Every structure is written in C-alpha cells, then in structure tokens.
Structure 1
Amino acid sequence: MTDSDPARTPHRSSPFGSDELDAARTDLTTGINRIFAASAMSASGHGNISVRLPGHPNLLAVNAGDLLAPWPAGDLRVAAPGLRTVNDQVVVVDLDGEVVAGTPSPSVAAILKMHVGVYRTRPDVNAVIHTHSPYATSYALASVSLPARYEALLVHGQAVDIPVAPWAPRGTAEAVRAIAETYQAHPQTYGVLLGNHGLLVAGDSAVHAARLVVAIEEAAVSSIGALGLGGPVPFPDYVKDLDLRLRF
C-alpha cells in the first residue's frame, strides 16, 4: 500500500502524514484493547480515548465512534467485513477542539473539548481515556473520592485519592471548566471521577492510561467489597517516602 491510497491518506491540507496517523491508531488500539481485555469498558460503548499525534503535540487523535468491541490490531485498511477504514475510525482535532481530519460521531463530538481541556491543563500528559467503568462510576454517582489504598494505584503513579469533578452537562463549557479546575486543584492526580457520569484518566501514554483505568476499576471493586469488612485501610505513613511507580 502506498501513501496515495485514500484509505490511509489524511485530507490533503492536513499537517501530518499517514504514518503518523497509523502510529496514533496503533496507540489507540493498544489502549482500547487493554481496557476491553480487563472488562473495564461499559457495555454501552460510551467511552473515548485520545493520544497526542506523534510529532504534533498540538494535535490529538481520538476514536471517531462508540467503543463497542476491541479494535483489530492488524490491517489498518479493512480489518473485518464491514469494518471502517483507519480514517473512519479516528478523528484528529487541534487544541482548540476543531476537527482537522475525520468525522466524529455526535457522541464523540460532544466530548472533544473535554479531552482538549485536560491536555491544556496537563501539558505533561500524552493520552486521555474516558470510560463508564461500572464500579468507578459508582463512586462518581455517589460523589465520593476513590481512596488510593490499593497498591496497584501506586504502581501506576496514582498515589493520591481520585477526586470528583462536579457534574455539568456533558460537553458544555461548564463541564470542561469543572474538570480543568479539579485537575488544577489536585496536580498529583491522573484520574478524575466525573460526578454523575463516569471516569476520566490522563496518562503518560495510552498504555499507562489504560493500565491505570484498569487499576482504578479494580480499586473501586475491592474498596466497595472491603466496606463490609471495616473499609479499606490506609497505607502506613512511610509510604510517602517510597517510590513504587513502575515505568512500562
């Protein structure tokens, strides 16, 4: 296949090449499939993942539609009968939330600025994942911070409790501002619970963000299970002097 093949070539005016789009799609696929493998994606398919486009830190690649099944990791052109091409699966937006290439579904279009707001607030991160992971969402519905009392959270860099951003209608300026303000108020957190909605996780990479989504869901399941046994016990004080973070 050549770069002139329409199945892999972005719009002519796009400031990036097909190889960069393919690399971003591979990152998205890796993150998406890790979450599905761990059963941390809700059955509704309401979830989205974005990564910075390689070589273009001011551009983001985002899944274009609902996440109802894992993405095939092989052929980027036609991975299965009826499956759309890579350009149909991925939309590219800039840090103003303007679509540069691709066509987002109405559901994805409504949340693009939510992703953009995280990258603007946290310029150190390279991936953002939003899910309705059921047990983490239980904490969001209760507007209760998820305590960082599960070692896997520390392993993935989430050493502080996961705060809750107050609810506002999805995709609105109020919702974007609430998320940004929550990250600003909690600069050490990667994850934020979205009040009455779901979970939002930033990461150093798509793999990091996906691993943390899974760890957060495990923490939520285990924390709820521990409530009948007296509740999750805090780590000893000396944990603050330890660096348990693993870099994958």
Structure 2
Amino acid sequence: MKPTPTTAPPWTGSPYRRRRILWAFVVLTVGGIYYLSQYGAPSSSFLSLSESLKDWGYHFSPDSSRAGRVAQAKQDAHAGEGTATYADVREIDALLHFLTAHPERRLEEDGGSIRVEGLGSVVVDVEKPVDLRVYAPDGKNDWEAHTKRLREQYPLVVFSKTYCPYSQRAKTLLASYEIEPAPKIIELNVRSDGPQVQAILARLTGRNTVPNILLKGSSIGGSDDIHQMHEAHKLKRLFEEGGLTVKGAAAEA
C-alpha cells in the first residue's frame, strides 16, 4: 500500500520559491504602509499608522505626516522670508537701516548687484518691493532692533545732492534749528547707487526730487515745504512731536 502524499508547507521547497514568497511579503508591506501614509485610515481602525510610521512615510509624501508637515512649513517660511516674515517692517525703514548701518555698501557693488549673506548676488529692481534681507546684507535681520536704533540715532534724515541749491537752502535752515540728534545727511550724488536709492525713495515716499526730508521714516517734503512750516511757526513743534530736541534761536523767529 502506497503512503498518502502530503502537501508541503509553502515555506518549504526550493530556495527560489522561498525568496519569491519573501519578496512578495516585503512588497505588500511597503505598499500598505505607503497607501496608509498617503490616504490614512479611520482613527478607530486598527490600520491607523503610528506616528513613527507616518513620519517614515514622509519620504514619499511631505503632506502625509507630522514630520512632513513640519518640514514643509519650514520650507514655506524660508521661501517667504523677507516678505511675510517681516510684514510689519516698512521698506523705507529697512532702506534707512542699510544707508546708515552700511555706509560702505552699495546696491550695485557686485557688477550691478549686491552681495547678500544667504542670498548671494542680488539684482535690485527699484520698481518693485525689495526683499528686506537685501537691506541687511550682513545677514543680521533683527528688524526690531534696527528700527529702534533708527528712531534713536537718526530720526531726521535728509536726502540731498551737494550741488543742489534747494538742498543747500534746506540744510541751512535745519542747521539753524540746532536739532538733537542732528539730521543725517545723505548726499545721493556721491554714491554710485544714488540713482537707485532715489528711485526707491520715489516709490516709497511719492517724492522723486531732492531734498527729500524724512522724519521717522515719513517724508515731510522738501525745501519749500519746511520753509513754509518755519514761517508758519509749525516746524519746531513738528520736530518736538517727533521726539527731537530743538535748541536753535531760529526756531523762535
């Protein structure tokens, strides 16, 4: 009597067959994890992935896991840096910081561009809002501290040209007021990027001529404007309301 043949377990047999079964199991497992990392599962389901497995799934889809969402958020924040990141900083204040804190730097110093830490060489388009990081080319983007320094040290800034008679007339009047802190004079014609700075000023203040006199980042006009306020006895009060000290006798005239 012949013995009854028995069916061999699936894990027995040739090594080739065992490898096929093993690889099929690996493929199914990886495919299942990827599917759940992409589409998830009901929170009550036993198929819900643990956080660690979801994080592993980030390598397939950045939106599928906590780690993926965090990484994506960091990328989005970096992409928006200089715009949304500094939404409460006015570009005019950033420009004034650049001009007063980096007097040796120029917007076109590198063959028509400027070298900015973390950005490389940047070509400035004066007709459009400038990435604020350009105005802090050393990479120090503490705008709260920069703005505070501007208000304390340079509350009054005069954009001028050395050969302009209107600029000279305005500077003479301001000097007679003996203001503290003294006005910061920026002579645009002695800067190689003067035309760029003047174009940015025109976009930000609405005034494209010099002198352009700024009190705490806001233009109060040019030579004729401050002379009219002087004659109306309004200029001293304007300066004092801006936090400046006026000592000159001309303020009382």
Give the TM-score normalised by the residue count of structure 2.
0.28
Give the TM-score normalised by the residue count of structure 1.
0.28
More relative contact order in 1 or in 2 (CA 8 Å, sep 6+)?
1
Greater radius of gyration (CA)? 2
**More strand per residue:** 1
**More helix per residue:** 2
